[in-house]
Amino acid sequence: MDIKTKAMGVVSIVEKQIIQLDNGFFGFPEKHRFALIDAAQKPFIWVQCMDDPDLAFLAVDPFLFRADYEINLDDADVTALGVESPSDVLVFALITIPADGSPVTANLQGPLVINKKNNKAMQAIHPDPKWTTKHDIAAELAAARESQC
């Protein structure tokens, strides 16, 4: 099926790319269906609203720049998503690219969690204050490289 996107015009997707967020994203509770679309700039993906071509989020796997990242879902969230095993879960951090040229950041406090078996998803809240909404991706990558030396 074809959908209109914010960043790429009209693109073709398949059903398995569509995720369902019963509660929407924070700030967008009325938007429930999104498509996961590879961005031209790897390793990013677009999380494109199916019902609003102007609503899209850029996202990335947080483990690429924070190997120590962890997300603990409570029992209600695990049940709501239908998760049977940790291997069922995909986690993405939403990206902010400020217009003023300040650092590109990732939201590690409110990750997108997807059950890849049934495509149910939610934006979880991470209670650990270590994870904030503004992790500087370049700084995190530089710190990871330094720790490997």
The pLDDT mean for the chain works out to: 93
Q: Which of 96, 67, 45, 98 is nearest to 34 (CA)?
A: 45
Q: How does pLDDT run across 48-103, given as a tens digit for each residue?
A: 999 999 999 999 999 999 999 998 888 999 999 999 999 999 999 999 998 998 99
Beta bridge partners of 5: 9
Q: How does pLDDT run across 119-129, given as a tens digit for each residue?
A: 999 999 988 89
Binned at pLDDT 50, 70 and 90, residue 149 comes out as low
Average pLDDT over every residue of 107-114: 96
**CA 63/CA 108 separation, integer angstroms:** 10
In this predicted structure, the answer to whether residue 147 has a pLDDT above a threshold of 80 is no
